[in-house]
Structure 1
Amino acid sequence: MTTLITGASGAIGRAVALSFRDDDLILQAHTQAESLRAFVASEGLTADVVTCDLDDEAGLEAWLDTLGPVDRIIHVAGNHAYGLLVDQSLLELDRLYRIHVRSMVRLVQHVVGQKAYDRPLDIVVVSSVWGEVGAAGEVLYSTVKAAQLGFVKAFAREAGPFHVRINAVTPGWIDTPMNDTVEETKQTAREEIPLGRLGGPEEVAETIRFLCSPAAAYMTGAVLRIDGGWV
């Protein structure tokens, strides 16, 4: 089995790679490719590490030209944008859209267009709880995360007859460097979460693993929230 993971250099991406460690992995990264290669070597993974800036449309197309058939796509890649909407530039919205939405759609479009009709394909998109409920101070991020969920729900209906399943997970506060902040803020979050703790990257990865397993064979277009009951 060949599993393609975008954003593989981040905490969730690495956890997903470990969860699929028995597969042949294609791991996309941007600025952290060398540290990802060191991680691959230390963990003994069978992986091809690809350096590609998903914000660069020409670079993405060049990578896709070299991409062979895959059995799974796990789209983890993404970044944040904080601030009040009135202070945000639409250029920032364009950047978020290219990374979170356009590159995801183009990747899926390419892989599905190239695959044999009867070859199964599982796709999981890592969105966010903010894509479901929205967040003040993260309006642009919430917008592109909601767009991901719209894509998942619509494409599931279109692609099912072509042996493609697509689902999404929406993590809440996961204890990763991207969500790192002052301890007081993290403690406040813990107090607001019914389970009383932050989530771990491995818990997101295991949910993704489930969605790609035979146990989830009748699931497509689903959105699974992983937030400890937070929102």
Structure 2
Amino acid sequence: MDLGGKVALVTGASRGIGRSIALELAKNGTSVILNYRKDDEGANETLELIKKLGGYGTLYKTDISDYSSCKNMIDDIIKKFGKIDILINNAGISKIGLFMDMSEEDFNEIMNINFKGVFNCCHNAVKYMIERKSGVMINISSIWGNVGASCEVLYSASKGAINSFTRALAKELAPSNIRVNAIAPGVIDTDMNKCFSNEEREEIQQEIPMMRFGEGEDIAKLAVFLCGEGSKYITGQIVTVDGGML
């Protein structure tokens, strides 16, 4: 799929799904801005991988939970590239534990990064997309945003908020030729899921009809499809990629 000449911002691109999406976009000719919060080593590794592919990437370190920081980042992208064609809201965190043990600080951190970060980036990018009557936004949700997960109540709530936000914003922006979709991954073999023991991994895999964890590339290839002309009539959708788990 040719996305040559497009400019994309990928949040949380230093590792995991964000890195996979950034690499897939670069393979397809996109200039990729790699946003990250603190993992300098991981971000530079992603950038080097893009360069090895012959692609173009640049780093932008900022905390997407802060509105003014997001504004500065997107304004700088417009100054440098003149546009923003694609926004991939991928950055996110998870906290596993009983709801009764969660604190207000836990709630604030998860919602500020997982959901407010999406709002911050979309709100600052949308005016530039509307001016050009063109743009794609993809929000990385989760299967737990669809159905909820025990011991991940706050995470599930943040992803459920992303789903509703995606559907509503897609309706509002469709007349401006801006498409907004979300991808809801199942269990993907990333650093976020390294917390599971071998025994726990086996138990989880038994619950997945395809009997394996997904790979970052499974999400990345869908994201690239949703960015291209082949999906030009798809908007407001939450696309689940979970190996048949739900």
Same fold flag (TM > 0.5): yes
86, 95, 108: which one pairs with 1:72? 86
Instruction: State yes or no: 1:220 paired with 2:223.
Output: no
Aligned-residue offset at 1:56: 3.4
TM-score by length of 1: 0.95
TM-score by length of 2: 0.89
Aligned-residue offset at 1:216: 0.9
Instruction: State yes or no: 1:55 paired with 2:65.
Output: yes
For residue 135 of structure 1, give the secondary structure of its aligned residue in structure 2. Answer: coil
Aligned-residue offset at 1:126: 0.6
Whether the aligned pair in 2 keeps the contact of 1:167 and 1:223 (CA below 8 Å) is yes
Alignment of 1:106-125 (within 5 A): 106-125=120-139
Structure 1 stretches of at least 4 aligned residues deviating more than 4 Å after TM superposition: none
Give the Cα separation in 2 of the matches to 1:7 and 1:173. Answer: 18
31, 42, 52: which one pairs with 2:38? 31
| Paired amino acid for 2:46 | F
198, 218, 231: which one pairs with 1:203? 218
Partner of 1:134: 148
What per-residue deviation string (whole Å, max 9, x for no partner) do you get for residues 168-220 of structure 1?
11001101110111011111111111111110000010111111121111000
47, 58, 70: which one pairs with 1:40? 47
| Paired amino acid for 2:232 | A
For residue 195 of structure 1, give the secondary structure of its aligned residue in structure 2. Answer: coil
| Paired amino acid for 1:106 | N
For residue 244 of structure 2, give the secondary structure of its aligned residue in structure 1. Answer: coil
Partner of 1:7: 12
Give the Cα separation in 1 of the matches to 2:129 and 2:137. Answer: 13
Give the Cα separation in 1 of the matches to 2:8 and 2:185. Answer: 21
Whether the aligned pair in 1 keeps the contact of 2:170 and 2:179 (CA below 8 Å) is yes
Whether the aligned pair in 1 keeps the contact of 2:89 and 2:121 (CA below 8 Å) is no
For residue 13 of structure 2, give the secondary structure of its aligned residue in structure 1. Answer: coil
Give the Cα separation in 2 of the matches to 1:53 and 1:118. Answer: 27
Sequence identity, in percent?
A: 31
**Residues 127 and 227 of structure 1: CA distance in aligned 2, closer, same or farther (over 3 Å):** same
Aligned-residue offset at 1:67: 2.9
Q: CA RMSD in A?
A: 1.4
Whether the aligned pair in 2 keeps the contact of 1:117 and 1:163 (CA below 8 Å) is no
**Residues 116 and 220 of structure 1: CA distance in aligned 2, closer, same or farther (over 3 Å):** closer
127, 135, 143: which one pairs with 2:157? 143
What are structure 1's unaligned runs of at least 5 residues? none
| Paired amino acid for 1:59 | S
| Paired amino acid for 2:57 | A
| Paired amino acid for 1:222 | Q
Give the Cα separation in 2 of the matches to 1:102 and 1:65. Answer: 18
Give the Cα separation in 2 of the matches to 1:163 and 1:216. Answer: 12
Give the Cα separation in 2 of the matches to 1:139 and 1:116. Answer: 35
Whether the aligned pair in 1 keeps the contact of 2:14 and 2:44 (CA below 8 Å) is no
Give the total of aligned pairs: 231
